[in-house]
Structure 1
């Protein structure tokens, strides 16, 4: 199938250099707001034509969540494949990011942590893996705006096997610190700041700056911005780019490099179910940041 035929949110690409294949994961339930079944993967050699879907995870009868299976990211880590994914817990109706593992990128994935590793009394989502300069693993994630009003991006250190947290969360920044964000007006959650944080992803530039892609809203449209830590440290301080990198009703992005060496941004757009589709946009390093390539070509 072609990219434009795939309904998928929160695209995450795992390049397989050995077999020259791209594995695309994402939120793949047809209605991710009301369903919770599992995750699929699609496999491609050219980012245009895909095999699949292949189920990589399906909930069991005793799984801790029933709805909202979101944003899987898969990494090769110490000889296994690790998935970070967000689920809504049955016991307290809060979102949390759990860790799963498998022997192959096609799964099957099973719980690696005992449940969400994010704080039990927080509504947390979109965990992503970061390995620091001392080779220590961290989970960077969002403390949901629906709980705190002004959404936060936080970090906490993980055990070496990634199965549990070993530090308290640290707030890296809040959504309203970015000049480009506007409140997300929702009648469901009145009385909050309504500043959204979604989908953090970290990328180190050639000069050594640490960048973070993250999503929010501009006048009701989903958008993707960049925060940067000029020190190169996860602890920042984090400075926000004044303008979004992508603002055409799409976001939850990540970057990867193609076999030809092109740096590519993956996002989903539009931000409407069931119309959302993954797209791939060439980007280039621009000093200590990223910008859309002058080629301005979209694949998908």
Structure 2
């Protein structure tokens, strides 16, 4: 029970899983006419809501899909992971915000009885300090809250960045340690520091900063990063998500590049603690695929969703296996998403 509650985005799945609803295809396609190839999305985040037996997929708002031009987050919904409703905006950034672009990497987490939305926004015209001759702009993960999973969400602390605004904090995720203490884990942007990093910052009960950030690892720690990537100076860290296996091993999904192609990969804490040390494992999925996250279907099966390709991205589902010391891809869920690309 406790181990599942440590999986980001799966806080509803601590109770025994139930079987997926038996929805006749004709009814499902009428009420939810979209399939994943129809659904433009980056950085997908899926919550399996047992209370309504609904899967919610959060991503950056696409006005052509919602008819809503505001900068923010939209959500698709499904009862079977195959047929999806047209999306609706669940959060819109107020016009008086410090940011004017972004709405990247939305994540929704249950904390202290409410739903919290983490997402990354930026402002190209607001410089911040950078390392050496690099460029720094304001890019930060901010927080919004709602009493309902499907929103609407409203800003916490008027949209102030969770971490210090002088740090380019990308793709922030919530991790709750075995002592029930929350942490913000995020990618410290290569744009600002060159060798992108993964960092963790302790939070208080209101999900505000409670101490200085700690370096977990740099992108250059991954042995599969190639000289071509390094020569460009673009050592990217993207999309962290924490997962504790059935044996208690703490893993991190994250993304970067290999030979110019996006990669979904895995790191492992050798101590079992968020502070590491962290060792890098082999990539899970290549072929310009990444920014994945894990969730469980209502029948208990571990799943991963990511986007592919990086440009004009669509959602891609995988059936996964918890091997105790790592996770592994079992198969592509082509029965759900219709894709046929190879997994590695």
Q: In the alignment, what sits opposite 1:259?
A: 298
Task: Name the SS of the counterpart of 1:287 in structure 2.
Answer: coil
Task: Name the SS of the counterpart of 2:86 in structure 1.
Answer: strand
- Out of 22, 28, 41, the position equivalent to 2:61 is 28
8 A contact 1:201–1:214 mirrored in 2: yes
Give the Cα separation in 1 of the matches to 2:95 and 2:221.
Answer: 42
Is it true that 1:110 corresponds to 2:149 in the alignment? no
Q: In the alignment, what sits opposite 1:271?
A: 310
Q: In the alignment, what sits opposite 2:49?
A: 16
Give me the TM-score of the superposition, normalised by structure 1: 0.91
Is it true that 1:131 corresponds to 2:170 in the alignment? no
Is it true that 1:41 corresponds to 2:97 in the alignment? no
C-alpha displacement of 1:36: 7.0
8 A contact 1:8–1:276 mirrored in 2: yes
- Out of 74, 94, 97, the position equivalent to 2:141 is 97
- Out of 282, 288, 291, the position equivalent to 2:319 is 282
8 A contact 1:172–1:236 mirrored in 2: yes
Task: Name the SS of the counterpart of 1:194 in structure 2.
Answer: coil
Matches within 5 A, 1:1-300: 1-29=34-62, 37-89=71-123, 91-92=126-127, 93-114=137-158, 115-162=160-207, 164-182=208-226, 193-241=233-281, 243-272=282-311, 275-293=312-330, 295-298=331-334, 299-300=336-337
8 A contact 1:29–1:36 mirrored in 2: no
8 A contact 1:36–1:68 mirrored in 2: no
C-alpha displacement of 1:257: 0.6
Q: CA RMSD in A?
A: 1.9
1:90-110: CA deviations, max 9, x gaps? 644311001110111111111
Task: Name the SS of the counterpart of 1:52 in structure 2.
Answer: coil
Task: Name the SS of the counterpart of 1:214 in structure 2.
Answer: strand
Give the Cα separation in 1 of the matches to 2:103 and 2:268.
Answer: 29
Q: Which is richer in helix?
A: 2
8 A contact 1:7–1:30 mirrored in 2: no
Pair member with larger Rg: 2
Task: Name the SS of the counterpart of 2:192 in structure 1.
Answer: helix
8 A contact 1:184–1:194 mirrored in 2: no
Give the Cα separation in 2 of the matches to 1:280 and 1:78.
Answer: 30
Give the Cα separation in 2 of the matches to 1:278 and 1:205.
Answer: 24
Distance 1:183 1:215, change over 3 A: farther
Q: Which is richer in strand?
A: 1
8 A contact 1:195–1:216 mirrored in 2: yes
List alignment gaps of at least 5 residues for structure 1.
none
1:7-61: CA deviations, max 9, x gaps? 0000001110111111100123469xxx971110011111111113111011222
C-alpha displacement of 1:133: 1.3
C-alpha displacement of 1:282: 0.6
Give me the TM-score of the superposition, normalised by structure 2: 0.80
C-alpha displacement of 1:192: 6.4
- Count of residues in correspondence between the two structures: 288
